[in-house]
Amino acid sequence: MWFALVAGLLFPLDAAEIPTLPLVDVFVNGQDGYPAFRIPALIATSRGTLLAFAEGRAHLRDHAENDIVLKRSTDGGKTWGPLQVVHEDGANSLGNPTAVIVRGTGRALLMYQRYAQGFDEHKAEPGLQGPRICRTYTQSSDDEGATWSRPVEVTAQVKRPTEVTSTAVGPGIGIQLRRGKHSGRILMPFNQGPFGKWKVYAVFSDDGGQSWRYGQTAPEGAAGHANEVQFAELKDGSILLNARNQGGGLKQRKTAVSHDGGATWSTTLHDPALIEPVCQASLLRHPGTGDPTSDVFLFCNPATQTGRTNGMVRLSRDDGKTWPLARVLYPGGFAYSCLTSLPDGSVGCLFERDGTTKISFARFSLDWIGNTGGH
């Protein structure tokens, strides 16, 4: 059974009553030279070009000689150009593409991890040097994603030198602050291992992505471990953290707040309104038309505690305190997703569907979320 959420109440809908959005398949397993694609990330450039990133994999497992790949759209997601390989590293695996557009310059900034062949997050070793550590790289583009700089390693700037084994940025998007004393700061959301003992934190740059520092991890105050994470800026310039809840039994998202630009965090809490089957999710502050007070928060994930299905978009007008409006975006198999704001005020969503056999794009307006019939 699928549901519509209106004014805080869930109403059951039959499958025939759920109008689906038009979908455009961007990455399809077995096409473009890759047996599998996973882990979508989506950003819109200042000129409106959509950049859709993914991991191109030799098979569906997480560490499968993954390459970082990209497709571009210049017509709002109606059509997509040919696949571009942003970084290929032989038998080693690259993963967790996370991107942000730098305000003012328009630069597209991409961050991701690298594991040497045979050394995934279960086997990665602590430290900043050696063949068995997890490494982090950035690349940038100044021409709407058409070409990319050479990879720059930033491992020592984003990873603690002792104890930490794996690191993972996002996956999804980074943010750049607009308010308060840290306005202009770029933040990338991170989690760190060892496996099974994850912690989340912020990595930030005050020089447009040229250099990076890391903050403290968020203290755990609820069952489970915060894992894959996204950020959104609050009205006062503080930062909301929203993370996958790994373990602990309670399948609800974890949240925390930073009042100092990502340097420290409040203790994590569960958000009972945001249920999950234990999966990555997307969080976005979507701008109001010329009026920052009309900004809304959007949240997208598989809205169920039983499996990766029933992809839903929720809307909050109070900085994520409540989520009174929601609508099913895709009722079938739904896993990782990434939301982005489009220049015309609409929203784009890039998401894995149907048993992660493809990554598809959907576009919708804010009015669509509150309208349970038609689109």
What CATH code would you report for 21-369?
2.120.10.10
Q: What is the pLDDT of residue 320?
A: 97
* pLDDT score of 370: 82
- The amino acid present at 67, given as its one-letter code, is D
Q: What is the pLDDT of residue 291?
A: 61
Report pTM: 0.94
Cβ burial of 103 (10 Å; 0-12, 13-18, 19+) is middle
| Lowest-pLDDT range of 11-20, 108-117, 357-366 | 11-20
pLDDT of residue 18: 52
CA angle 115, 52, 98 (to 5 degrees): 45
Active site residues: 62, 228, 336
Window from 127-136, 205-214, 243-252, 300-309 with minimum mean pLDDT: 243-252
- The CA-atom distances, in angstroms, between 367 and each of 13, 62, 199, 271, 334 are 19, 37, 36, 25, 22
The answer on pLDDT for 255 being more than 50 is: yes
Per-chain mean pLDDT for the chain: 92
Exposed e or buried b per residue across 260-296, where buried means at least 16 C-beta atoms within 10 angstroms of its C-beta: ebbebbeebebbebbbbbbbbbbbbbbeeeeeeeebb
pLDDT for 48-69, tens place per residue? Answer: 999 999 999 999 888 889 999 9
Tell me how far apart the alpha carbons of residues 192 and 274 are, in angstroms, rounded to a whole number.
Answer: 23
Residue 14 pLDDT exceeds 50 = no
pLDDT per residue as tens digits for the range 168-195:
999 999 999 999 999 999 999 999 999 9
Instruction: Read off the pLDDT band of 236 (50, 70, 90).
Output: very high
For position 343, what pLDDT does the model report? Answer: 92
Task: Average the pLDDT over 118-129 and give the result.
Answer: 93
Q: Please tell me the least confidently modeled range out of 18-32, 206-220, 296-310.
A: 18-32
State the pLDDT at residue 324.
96
pLDDT value of position 292: 61
